[in-house]
Amino acid sequence: MKNLLTSLLDLFYPHTCDGCGTDLTRTEKVLCLRCLRRLPITGYQHQQHNPVEKIFWGRVNIRHAMSAYYYRKSSLLQQLIYQFKYKQREDIATHLGQQMGNILLQSRWLYEINCIIPVPIHPTKLQQRGYNQAALLANGIATVTGKPVIEKILFRSNYSPSQTNKGRLLRWQNVSGVFSIERTNQLKDQHILLVDDVLTTGATLEACSSLLINAGATVSICTLAFAHH
């Protein structure tokens, strides 16, 4: 009976891969195994002093940093990010967060992490979108790693326009003073994994990290994608 119901559901609501459109198997979600393998993994979870860590050298004292995948224009990953940021596909963000969790499990330093904090978005944008995509990624990571997600500590207090076409200096000016922090007593001696979707110049992550470090925390960073130049 259960199999019949599942088959009927599949008939009326076909479960297809968001990458290539083929039918997904019972064990696959969002992407088929072939498309999942198409995502360009950085391998930075194994690499100390990797290019993501180097972005923050001399700017803010980050313990570890990595991105799961390379971000390339017109790629499958860009399409997926667009879907979860602008097309209400929360399931894609959660699934990619789980993939980030699987990649983080391969690192030598995950055991150091006490909790996960997603980069916040402004309440206006949260209302428009209905969710914070960084929080969905963080929750995906949490389901795999068992590390708790803590929200309502880091806040985006100023609404700033999209940073997509801004250079590094403009991005930094755009986020300087944008974030605020509360319940700082909970952060002392905690090693936090700060999570975001795409790393470009690192201005947003630098601003958030500085606040967390000033509150007595140690910060490591993990993003879904690295838009390297």
Give the model confidence (pLDDT) of 86-96 as tens digits.
Answer: 999 999 999 99
**3-state DSSP percent of the chain in helix, strand and coil, to 5:** 45, 15, 40
Question: What SS3 state is found at 104?
Answer: helix
Helix (H, G, I), strand (E, B) or coil at 77: helix
> For tokens 């224009």, what's the residue?
73
Using left for φ > 0, alpha for ψ between -120 and 50, and beta otherwise, residue 5 falls in alpha
Question: What percent of the chain has pLDDT above 70?
Answer: 86
- Phi, psi (deg, nearest 5) at residue 94: -65, -40
| pLDDT above 90 for 76 | yes
pLDDT bucket at 173, cuts 50 / 70 / 90: low
The 10s digit of each residue's pLDDT in 11-66 is 545 589 999 999 999 889 999 999 999 999 999 999 999 999 999 999 999 999 99
**CA–CA gap between residue 178 and residue 100 (Å, rounded):** 27
pLDDT number for residue 159? 63
pTM summary value: 0.88
Owner of token pair 């479960």:
15
Range of lowest pLDDT (7-16, 22-31, 206-215, 217-226)? 7-16
CB atoms within 10 A of CB 185: 8
Q: Are residues 52 and 199 in contact, defined by beta-carbon separation less than 8 angstroms?
A: yes
Helices 133-145/76-86 angle, 10° precision:
110
User: What would the mean pLDDT of 156-179 be, rounded to a whole number?
Assistant: 62
What does the alpha-carbon distance between residue 110 and residue 34 come to, in Å, rounded to a whole number? 27
147/101 Cα distance (integer angstroms): 10
Contact 147, 140 (CB under 8 A): no
* Mean pLDDT confidence for 152-161: 79
- Under DSSP, is residue 31 helix (H, G, I), strand (E, B) or coil? coil
In what helix (H) or strand (E) does residue 74 lie, and over which residues does it extend? none
Domains parsed from the chain with CATH numbers: 40-160+172-226 (3.40.50)
Site of tokens 């986020």: 175
Q: Cα angle vertex 31, ends 25, 32, to 5°?
A: 45
CA distance 155 to 70: 27
